[in-house]
Structure 1
Amino acid sequence: MSTPGWLTALGTERARPAWLRAWPHAGWLAVGAVCFGAFMGQLDASIVTLTYQPLRGAFTASLAEVQWVSLAYLLGLTALLIPIGRLADRHGRKLTYLYGFVVFTAASAACGLAPSLGWLVAFRVVQAVGAAMLQANSVALVTTSAPGNQMRTALGVQAAAQALGLALGPTVGGLLVSTLGWRWVFGINIPVGVLAVIAGVYLLPRTHHRAAATGSDLTGTLLLAAASTSLLLGISVASGPRLPSSEVIVLLAVAGAAAVGFVARQRRASAPLVDLGLLAHRDIAAGLVGALSGYLVLFGPLVLIPVAFADAGLSQLRAGLVLTALPAGFALAATVADRLLPSGWSERTRAVVGSSMSLLALVWLLEVPPVSGWLLAPLGLLGVALGLFTPANNALVMAAIPGQSAATGGGLVNMARSLGTALGVAVVTLALNTGAGWPRPSTGLAVLVLAVVSLVTVGSAWAQRGADAP
């Protein structure tokens, strides 16, 4: 029986109009279309934490329960980035990207209409599927669309879109929560998603070179999801008003067993998710620790500060305005550092300076009043520090990875970033619920101190490697 024409059309990448393909600057329009996804992904990541307090009231839930609005999304994203990237290489990056926006936009609408916290968390998992379809393809679409001699500039434009979304998230989230309500935090994605799908259909190029089928690792994907979910669920259970130690121990044991099973599977699989041989490389291992720690430090305050302001009786709009300094500093450093820093600075130098500045910023943060506008300066400095460290650290990791494993290396960096973000949410929530509050005694900031110590250690390792290099 033949396939219906409409079904064939839905599974076929549509070519751009002939006049557009012939236009010399068509590639930049494609880059602009990809920037919709880059912007929305980071906006969504930084905006949702502003809903924690109103969600607690709306659904009579604890902070430990509400954090799963973020964690469910991050876990889905972490588990799906690599397998969806493989599917896109085989079946078409444009098609995967467009359907990713359809899924993401529809799930955003469902999140805004969710009747309960359980449904909201479930819809966030669906939203993560769409986000993975976007993020797994974004760099490939940019590099295949931009003129070859302007690829770095095009990637910089995409980074700027991500930075803009990250910087606007707290302010937009605080404004929406304080005026229209938490549901509009998800509703804002809908008009942007519709515009992105329309733009993508006409502006994105078709996939001309598709990868051959190389097998999949469903077992590895499931084990990775089980390990990460059990770990974060164990942290979440420990974050509750009571501490059911037996449940925590069982969940952490499951996480450990799944992690061991994942490693064993990767050693045997014909097409493993992760090349374990890469992790034995000292530079790669250190850089992945740096990537995880950097995003933990970046997203930890996005949970810590709105909760502190709410406990002090202050609005989420005010918390969002203060918190904007952190991602704004990150955006500034990540996008204009090349123009402002000395041209002779290497990636190693930037990583060392960024990690050192992060320690200085955190010491400053410990000394300012806990809930005030004085937080702006140390948060801005911390953002600048992370904006220097993170791109340099990632570049050093990718430089240490053999060219034939570049795609796997990019997946490892994305996984480390996603896990760092998830831990920034989960561990800071645990610290808030089991400690005596913020900032004195500073259980929440203690988590960030430990992560910054990791950054400084990685920065020192990069410095030592630079000294050892011939």
Structure 2
Amino acid sequence: MDQSARGWRWFVAESPRPRRVATWVGAPWLVIGTVCFGAFMGQFDASIVTLALPPLATHFDVSPAAVEWVSLSYLLALVALLAAVGGLADVLGRKLVYVYGFAVFTAASVGCALAPDLAALVVFRVVQGLGAAMLQANSVALVVASVPRERMRTALGVQAAAQALGLALGPTVGGVLVAALGWRSVFAINVPIGVVAMVAGHYLLPRTVDRAERSRFDLLGTLLLAATTTAALLALSGASGLAVPVLPLLAGAVAAGVLLWWWERRVAVPLLDLALLRTAPVGRGLFGALCGYLVLFGPLVAVPFAATGSPLATGLALTALPAGFAVAATLGQRLLPRSWTSARVGAWLAAAAALLPAVAPAALVPALALLGFGLGVFTPANNAGVMAALPPGRAGLGGGLVNTTRGLGTALGIAISTYVLHTGGGQALRTTFAVLAVVAVACALSTPALRSGNGTRTR
């Protein structure tokens, strides 16, 4: 092999961890810590930008509807690409895709911070969404591949808690940065974190051993999935107030979804294995993930608009939700009896907590804490069950699907809560939590008895 070939291979092949890292007893926790960079940044970046939208509208002299595309473009790219990126990572290597994901995300953050106009900013946000998809599609798979079966629930709980922490800190940090340094600092803060994460990923993440077979990439399936999710998310955003044609977009989402189903049944190597999705642990687990994230994000929209107190008081009240989630996700197995840490128990706990503000609004803060705790029990157990049911070599696709349902659940939670707030009058907050309680009950009823399992082997 000549020198140029060796140099090119350095960029496209996964490098092994240093031997001392790979053989250290705490190596799995180094993987979890590295993956938490991406889990944190994905939610942190999505939530921190909300504080920059009003200054962006003023700076670029555009309407609030126009500046909303700064947030929406990121979410559209992220959800549309998650499953496809996860499938590619199963073939190319999850470490490789993850590290390059941070490179793309960091470079796009530089572009966002330097954007000369709104159009350029939206384009760079789409590229950021691509980088975030490369991170999130692989985060669950890397954890599953590195942690023993008996530690799976705890490991995925830590990863989920990092997401909750990013979600909780985003608005607070964003407000401080915008007030002190301006809107560009909201994007610039990603750059040093991204550089550290790339270095950590190179030295601490393991190579992928069990890869999917190399075969023709399902381009049409990828495009149809992207069209389905994009049209669906735009329709949901339109229902919650964005100036887009809702019914044509909804019809387009249904048509693209039907074509996707037809194509995936006929292609030799499908992007989505429909037979696998029909199995109870995978199909019902993904439905549960969608419902769980819908219930998690609904209050984050409803409470600020319906609250009558100061912004500081409202922010502190909302902190109870991700705080409860983080406690349960990381410490649930230590704090609760083993039989109480199942996905089904967590879903029922979340349903009871969501119902509480509907009947007793004064109990909002403890209800939010209890809701977060229930979802913190449910989410890691549910995701671990989905990943355990996947065949070897498909963990990347599984992680992509889990995060796709997270994105769709997030959009549904925002859209439903916004719609109820616009139509519910004086009882809007109670009605919103009643709807969330119904969704949590549906989640509990559909959740199978899932057990965590081991993932793909790494080295």
TM-score using structure 1 length: 0.81
**How many residues in Structure 1 have an aligned counterpart in Structure 2?**
448
**Mapped contact 2:32–2:159 kept (Cα < 8 A):** yes
Closer/same/farther in 2, CA of residues 146 and 179 from structure 1, 3 Å limit: same
Correspondence list, 1:398-437, <5 A: 401=389, 403=391, 407=395, 409-430=398-419, 435=422
Which string of whole-angstrom CA distances, capped at 9 and with x for unpartnered residues, describes residues 49-69 of structure 1?
A: 333444444445555444433
SS at match of 2:339: coil
Q: Which amino acid aligns with 1:389?
A: F
Closer/same/farther in 2, CA of residues 307 and 54 from structure 1, 3 Å limit: farther
1:342 maps onto 2:337 in alignment: yes
Aligned position for 1:452: 437
Q: Which amino acid aligns with 1:423?
A: L
Q: Which amino acid aligns with 2:125?
A: R
Unaligned runs of 5+ in 2: 451-459
Q: Which amino acid aligns with 1:416?
A: T
SS at match of 2:426: coil
Correspondence list, 1:225-244, <5 A: 225-240=226-241
Aligned position for 2:117: 116
Q: Which amino acid aligns with 2:129?
A: A
Aligned position for 1:85: 86
Distance in 1, Cα, partners of 2:144 & 2:387:
16
Q: Which amino acid aligns with 1:127?
A: Q
Aligned position for 2:219: 218
Q: Which has the higher contact order (CA 8 A, sep 6+)?
A: 2
How far is 1:251 from its partner?
2.1
Aligned position for 2:453: none
Aligned position for 2:457: none
Which string of whole-angstrom CA distances, capped at 9 and with x for unpartnered residues, describes residues 235-272 of structure 1?
A: 43455587x7xx33322222221111111112112222
1:273 maps onto 2:271 in alignment: yes
Q: 1:289 aligns with which of 261, 278, 287?
A: 287
TM-score using structure 2 length: 0.83
Closer/same/farther in 2, CA of residues 203 and 241 from structure 1, 3 Å limit: closer
**Mapped contact 1:71–1:425 kept (Cα < 8 A):** no
Which string of whole-angstrom CA distances, capped at 9 and with x for unpartnered residues, describes residues 429-455 of structure 1?
A: 4555xx26x86252x774554343121
Which string of whole-angstrom CA distances, capped at 9 and with x for unpartnered residues, describes residues 200-250 of structure 1?
A: 2222333445432133221111111112212222343455587x7xx3332
Which string of whole-angstrom CA distances, capped at 9 and with x for unpartnered residues, describes residues 328-347 of structure 1?
A: 12111222111122233362
Q: CA RMSD in A?
A: 3.5
Q: Which amino acid aligns with 1:459?
A: A
Aligned position for 1:250: 248
Q: Which amino acid aligns with 2:228?
A: A
Correspondence list, 1:375-414, <5 A: 376-395=365-384, 397=386, 401=389, 403=391, 407=395, 409-414=398-403
What is the percentage of aligned positions where both structures have the same residue?
A: 54
SS at match of 1:170: helix
Distance in 1, Cα, partners of 2:38 & 2:297:
20
Distance in 2, Cα, partners of 1:201 & 1:410:
20
Closer/same/farther in 2, CA of residues 277 and 207 from structure 1, 3 Å limit: closer
Distance in 2, Cα, partners of 1:270 & 1:60:
51
Aligned position for 2:328: 333
How far is 1:5 from its partner?
5.6
Distance in 1, Cα, partners of 2:275 & 2:356:
36
Closer/same/farther in 2, CA of residues 91 and 306 from structure 1, 3 Å limit: same
Aligned position for 1:440: 426
Distance in 2, Cα, partners of 1:334 & 1:397:
17
Q: In terms of mean alpha carbon deviation, does 209-218 or 422-431 score higher?
A: 422-431
Closer/same/farther in 2, CA of residues 231 and 62 from structure 1, 3 Å limit: farther
1:194 maps onto 2:192 in alignment: no
Which string of whole-angstrom CA distances, capped at 9 and with x for unpartnered residues, describes residues 391-417 of structure 1?
A: 344455556x46469635544332211
SS at match of 1:324: helix
